[in-house]
Amino acid sequence: MEIPSYDNLYRSAIRWTTRQPTLSKTDQFVIFTKASFSSPWDDGDINNDQYDDDPNDIFDDERLFEHNPREYWFKRRCRDAHGGLKSTPSQGPIHWFRYRGHDVGFQRRVSKESSGPWFAAPETLTFYTYDDRGVLDDIMHDIRETPVKKNPRDITVYTGLSQPLSWVPMATKSPRFLSSVALDQEVKMDIVKDVTEFFDPRTEPFYKERGIPYRRGIALYGPPGTGKSSLCHAIASMLCMDIYTFSLGSSGLNDNTLSDLFQKCPERSIVLLEDIDAAGVPKRGGDISSEPSQEATGGVENAETHNTGSEQGNISLSGLLNVIDGVAAKEGRLLFITTNHIDRLDPALLRAGRVDMKAFIGYANDLMARELFYKPYLVPKDTQFMAVRQENGTIQPLSEPVSDEWEPNDLDRLANQFASNIPPGWFSPASLEGYLLRHKNDPVSAACSVKEWVDQKISSFKIGHGQELSSLRVSGSPCQFRLHGESLSISVSAVIFDAANGSGELRVVLLQRASHWELPGGTVGSTDSTIYAALKRKILEKSGLELSRINNELEIRAQTRNKEEICVAFLCIFYVSQIEAPRFPDELPLGRKCDESVRINAEKHQGFTWATEDEVRNDVYPVLGDQKATILEAFAATPRSSLWQL
């Protein structure tokens, strides 16, 4: 009975072999340490229990670290350098062992194929017996029942090789709960629902009976550090599936070998193509190196998003499209595509049937910030979320504190404090998690220090409203501005009060769109010399009002918008502004003195209103995004006496 190295049973056969006591004590064997080279015989998930060290001699790492960290690091270095001594049956000779009262021979024969990076050469495992065929059938049954991994729930990440053409295990990852990935909850629920329905046992027959190819493709796009790859890991854990990935820019891959690799994927598997915008697959017409448009910038934190991926690989666009949904395309698999710049991908790659769902993965909002705060301090739990919003608006965590010293109510209060200091749309989950890891044992410090950390991050992006913008413009993209290594669009908005309405109560002008109300403003353009000039222009365009002066500047913000599948990073600057006051007769109704001066752009807005603080607070006029908080902040920061009076 032969089992070649490219067979799916090969790794199970290795693990079964290492569990046979008499075979592990063969007279002809190879001694090596884990550090000497890596092979399937040395994979931590397969052969990790074959150490010659006495378990009683292994020191207590935690106690040693607490007592003497330096000594712990030294011993860890020595242990890692030598690895664990292991022995495997040598290649070539037949090794005999007893199996259920029968003599069985085992042989490792080197294949004639070219060598790969994991072992000297691919090999074939052969089992012999002089007894009846049933002995080998029993061995095959045992091998099939032997888990490849110590923990069957672990996820193996395979990488595709062209020489030899095969999927080779790259890493083994512990399962990851969906709750550990902080995303917009609606987006996460939509994705989880989609993949769950796809792998419902009733779905495949439904597809096949109707002649629909049984495969699914999902594109995750957004700035770096937002959790696209982490979500793939968590979904693989939920589905108990391994991940198959490869580099489209690999020198050994071409259209033919890529097709063969896809055919070798198991039916129930996840294929992951990461950062496909930088993989060198050209668009039709070969346009792979053009700069992103003025609205195609990624997140505020990441200058790395401007890598154009100009190194072209050996895989053509048509070759990639064929393996995804060609006539011979593999079925039963789930394809994930991740990209920082979905606008750089050829539309043919994203059409229905190849990509069935597109999901924008953006920066942290308020609820995501709370979930991230809970993550170090709550017991990990196999749920979709760390916390959920109740019908009454309160946030309910779904697990218990890690430490008995932390009361749930205290953590809730600290989570609120932490999230209230995180401006929505400014920070990636990765950056917030990095901050929290510095305070992983002290939630009080994490909540109390975050405002200072945020202020330091944001203050570097401040621009005076009279500052000349020419030196900040990005060459070739005049509507983009370079600030501290980041390329951004700048959005300006004005909180315009009607201080002359005669009522003594401040009112703010709101412009009406189809489903919401918003402040007048917009993006700084190529002709605007200063922030003030842009604000004046946008106010006039949107409302017809003439800006008189800026009273004060509110807290600077940033956000990443998903506009027609383009990630747009905006530095959002809000001002409390004053307009030229018209002179109206005193007999006009109270609160209507400024109405005639508002001339809205009918193509963009359907109406306007002057809203009081209570009306904004009570959602009488549903305001766009986080502008409600901005307006209330402006009310609080603007005494009536500070505004110009008639």
- CATH number, domain at 492? 3.90.79.10
Instruction: Specify the pLDDT at position 644.
Output: 43
Contact status, residue 525 vs residue 491, Cβ threshold 8 Å: no
Instruction: Specify the pLDDT at position 309.
Output: 39
Same domain assignment for residues 330 and 183: yes
Cα-trace Rg, the chain: 31
Q: How far apart are CA 609 and CA 621, in angstroms?
A: 9
* Higher per-residue confidence, 89 vs 286: 89
Domain-located, residue 590: yes
DSSP 8-state secondary structure symbol assigned to residue 115: P
Domain-located, residue 493: yes
Q: Is the pLDDT of residue 433 over 90?
A: yes
Domain-located, residue 219: yes
Q: Of the ranges 239-243, 328-332, 451-455, 637-641, which one carries the lowest mean pLDDT score?
A: 637-641
pLDDT in tens, 199-224: 999 999 999 999 999 999 999 998 88
**Number of structural domains found in the chain:** 4
Q: How confident is the model at residue 69 (pLDDT cuts 50, 70, 90)?
A: confident
Contact status, residue 488 vs residue 570, Cβ threshold 8 Å: yes
pLDDT in tens, 139-188: 888 888 877 666 778 888 988 877 767 788 788 889 999 999 999 999 99
* Higher per-residue confidence, 543 vs 287: 543
Instruction: Specify the pLDDT at position 486.
Output: 67
Q: How confident is the model at residue 636 (pLDDT cuts 50, 70, 90)?
A: confident
Q: Of the ranges 252-256, 380-384, 398-402, which one carries the lowest mean pLDDT score?
A: 252-256
Same domain assignment for residues 370 and 350: no
Residues listed for the chain: 646
For 296, the token pair is 């195609």
Q: Phi/psi at 126 (nearest 5 deg)?
A: -125, 135
Q: How far apart are CA 265 and CA 61, in angstroms?
A: 40
Q: Of the ranges 82-86, 206-210, 329-333, 423-427, which one carries the lowest mean pLDDT score?
A: 82-86
Q: Is the pLDDT of residue 191 over 90?
A: yes
User: Which of helix, strand or coil describes residue 222?
Assistant: coil
Contact status, residue 389 vs residue 395, Cβ threshold 8 Å: yes
Cα→Cα distances 263→19, 245, 306, 333, 505, Å:
32, 13, 34, 11, 71
pLDDT in tens, 481-532: 877 666 778 888 888 877 555 556 778 889 998 888 998 888 888 999 988 8
Q: How confident is the model at residue 84 (pLDDT cuts 50, 70, 90)?
A: low
Same domain assignment for residues 39 and 165: no
Domain-located, residue 320: yes
Same domain assignment for residues 161 and 51: no
Range of the domain at 497: 476-642
Q: Is the pLDDT of residue 316 over 50?
A: yes
- CATH number, domain at 286? 3.40.50.300
Contact status, residue 459 vs residue 487, Cβ threshold 8 Å: no
Q: Is the pLDDT of residue 227 over 60?
A: yes
If you average pLDDT over every residue of the chain, what do you get?
Answer: 77
Instruction: Specify the pLDDT at position 110.
Output: 80
Same domain assignment for residues 346 and 376: no
Same domain assignment for residues 105 and 232: no
Same domain assignment for residues 192 and 49: no
* Higher per-residue confidence, 557 vs 520: 520
Q: Is the pLDDT of residue 60 over 70?
A: no
Boundary-marking domain end, from 411, 433, 459: 459
Q: How confident is the model at residue 87 (pLDDT cuts 50, 70, 90)?
A: low
Per cent of the chain over pLDDT 90 is 24
Boundary-marking domain end, from 429, 459, 489: 459
For 19, the token pair is 């569990």
Same domain assignment for residues 94 and 241: no
Domain-located, residue 511: yes
Position 29, amino acid:
F
Same domain assignment for residues 84 and 197: no
Same domain assignment for residues 275 and 175: yes
Q: Is the pLDDT of residue 85 over 60?
A: no
Instruction: Specify the pLDDT at position 27.
Output: 63
> Which is it for the CA torsion 136, 137, 139, 143, positive or negative?
positive
Instruction: Specify the pLDDT at position 100.
Output: 82
Q: How far apart are CA 377 and CA 432, in angstroms?
A: 14
Same domain assignment for residues 181 and 291: yes
DSSP letters for 19-58 = T-HHHHT-SSEEEE-TTT---GGG-TTTSTT---S-GGGS
Same domain assignment for residues 403 and 352: no
Q: Of the ranges 5-14, 104-113, 552-561, which one carries the lowest mean pLDDT score?
A: 552-561
Domain-located, residue 467: no
